[in-house]
Chain A
């Protein structure tokens, strides 16, 4: 059962390690946009306002990239666990 506890802690640490920065990033973007609205609105990149870039466009590919990596890694951890369990 100690082994399961180690696995649980490892998976939780991995999920939190990705989740906390991600949610901090999303909520952080939101807070920056709302608390510094005027400053952010006046900045534009390629003619498109920065706050639109961040909230309406950029967040999506960033999320896709991050979580494709996450799923690959999480599944690899599971396979490693299964192999270890099979070898015991």
Chain B
């Protein structure tokens, strides 16, 4: 343990309370009669609860610790992440939330498979879900190991094993119902923590956003602890960190449209009672995450303000060292410790714990759906009885949950940004084009859908992992925006060519009926 640091007992108390609550709700909701109960909480989740659960799904450790951390490190440029994450819900609201709910299936691959009557599309969709979700899970486990390990004084491996086991237990036993109730509580813990981190400096200490930005903007000199030069004017101006417009635009597009392709977010819209409730849910989500993304860059700037005045404000040496060494991940816990001592630090640690738990739970449900429902049941054994399907769902949840452990070890030496970038790039380029075109374009063909999925999966994977082999103009820090455009182009071109060659035979026979379900009035 580092000198001067004590494990906050408030954190242990709050985490203990959350775990007791988790166990109670898990056992309350352990009976799952059908696979719709297990995957979709019986499709009866009300809009406000669903919005809290979706927000908890979405605000992962990367958001809770990372957005303030990026703002702390890179100033104004860090805010672009908050903006992109927030605007992502708009595409979902405009084009997908209501039609997907009206279509009324279980998973995203369900949609592509049943819209085009193609097992190939289902398998590609399931592969896409696994790619996106596992790459999203890896940085969560990395965060669990590095940050929770540090704050609770545990080894990296011990942290990820404990967290993976807790989540696997309650997702496997309680399914979507228990996950939803737990996510509701977890959201308010993490939102409450961020609210206190913004409220205390703003209202009680009088650190207004204006004063903080003005002070930082006028600072020019050596940073405390490291002695590195710091130019406040550049830090508070655009293009301090994001210097390449092409990369930044592609990143913004990936963040804006990747959200609408994240399987663990999309699957939650199937839990709404109807299409209108799905739209209402997105509005609540926009409020909740909007408030969060206004507060977290402010907190990042406040931590920079405190760091630059370290000694004058009486910041303890170990907090200064944390910021100098790992400010990107530890800006939020430092704010907690500095503004509220052990109690607020405890609440922040509990908030980070809640963020990890809720997001990984959502990812496990999405992956379990891809394996259990899409591959095992629909591809290999469509006649499987309902009771066995619930069993398959539970086994898939155990496998995916425990897969988080090796995934966490694999990710230990990797960069969080690369993994999160891969998840968003794959989601934006794989699912968003296929879903939007599938919902709104009646002339899209089966091969067009498969081409879009293939271009999305292979293109984003190749452009990130084999970036160095590509010519310079094709090298992107985050290729999501570019591959998304290519995927749209592939769907359009292949569908047009196929339609030109085969006419109406190229389209699924029931296209008109499917369009009626997606866009017509809902049945009572």
For residue B95, which residues in chain A have a CB less than 8 angstroms away from its CB? 15, 19
Closest B residue to A1 by beta carbon equals B512
Contact B214 A47 (CB under 8 A): yes
Q: What is the interface size of chain A, counting residues whose CB is below 8 A from a CB of the partner?
A: 46
Whether B226 is near chain A, meaning CB under 8 Å from some CB there, is no
Shortest CB distance A76–B (Å): 10
Contact B213 A48 (CB under 8 A): yes
For residue A67, which residues in chain B have a CB less than 8 angstroms away from its CB? 90, 93, 282-283, 286
For residue B282, which residues in chain A have a CB less than 8 angstroms away from its CB? 67, 71
Whether B150 is near chain A, meaning CB under 8 Å from some CB there, is no
When the two chains form the complex, which single residue of A51, A71, A86 contacts B238, counting CB atoms closer than 8 Å? A51
Closest B residue to A57 by beta carbon equals B294
Known contacts A19-B91, A48-B209, A71-B279; decide if A41 and B238 are in contact (CB<8 Å): yes
A51 to B56, CA, bound (A): 29
When the two chains form the complex, which single residue of A26, A60, A86 contacts B293, counting CB atoms closer than 8 Å? A60
Shortest CB distance B278–A (Å): 10
Whether A85 is near chain B, meaning CB under 8 Å from some CB there, is yes
Contact B293 A19 (CB under 8 A): no
Whether B520 is near chain A, meaning CB under 8 Å from some CB there, is yes
For residue B214, which residues in chain A have a CB less than 8 angstroms away from its CB? 47
Closest B residue to A66 by beta carbon equals B90
Contact A55 B79 (CB under 8 A): yes
A81 to B275, CA, bound (A): 14
Contact B210 A46 (CB under 8 A): yes
A8 to B237, CA, bound (A): 44
A41 to B95, CA, bound (A): 35
Count A-B pairs with CB separation below 8 Å: 130
A56 to B98, CA, bound (A): 29
| A51-88 contact mask (Cβ, 8 Å, vs B): 1 or 0 | 11001110110011001101100110010011001100
When the two chains form the complex, which single residue of A1, A38, A41, A47 contacts B210, counting CB atoms closer than 8 Å? A47
Contact B98 A59 (CB under 8 A): no
For residue B76, which residues in chain A have a CB less than 8 angstroms away from its CB? 51-52, 55
Give the contacts of A7-58 with B (CB-CB under 8 A).
7-8, 11-12, 15, 18-19, 22-23, 26-27, 30, 33-35, 37-38, 40-41, 46-49, 51-52, 55-57
Known contacts A26-B87, A34-B245; decide if A60 and B290 are in contact (CB<8 Å): yes
A26 to B210, CA, bound (A): 23
B83, B94, B283 — which one has the most chain A CB atoms within 10 A of its CB?
B94
Whether B519 is near chain A, meaning CB under 8 Å from some CB there, is yes
Contact A56 B79 (CB under 8 A): yes
For residue B291, which residues in chain A have a CB less than 8 angstroms away from its CB? 60
Whether B486 is near chain A, meaning CB under 8 Å from some CB there, is no
Give the contacts of B211-260 with A (CB-CB under 8 A).
213-214, 217, 236-239, 242, 245, 248-249, 252, 256
A57 to B291, CA, bound (A): 10
A30 to B245, CA, bound (A): 10
When the two chains form the complex, which single residue of B91, B276, B515 contacts A78, counting CB atoms closer than 8 Å? B276
Shortest CB distance B307–A (Å): 19
For residue A86, which residues in chain B have a CB less than 8 angstroms away from its CB? 521
Whether B297 is near chain A, meaning CB under 8 Å from some CB there, is yes
A37 to B522, CA, bound (A): 48
Contact A78 B237 (CB under 8 A): no
Shortest CB distance B274–A (Å): 10
Contact A82 B238 (CB under 8 A): no
* Interface CB pairs A-B, < 8 A, 23: A1-B512, A4-B515, A7-B519, A8-B442, A26-B83, A27-B249, A27-B252, A30-B252, A34-B245, A40-B238, A41-B236, A49-B213, A49-B217, A56-B297, A60-B86, A60-B290, A63-B286, A67-B93, A78-B276, A78-B521, A81-B521, A82-B521, A86-B521
Interchain residue pairs A-B with the least CB separation, the first 7: A82-B521, A37-B238, A8-B519, A60-B290, A15-B94, A19-B94, A47-B210
Extra 7 A-B pairs, beta carbons < 8 Å, given A15-B94, A56-B79: A12-B440, A19-B91, A23-B91, A49-B236, A56-B298, A67-B93, A71-B282
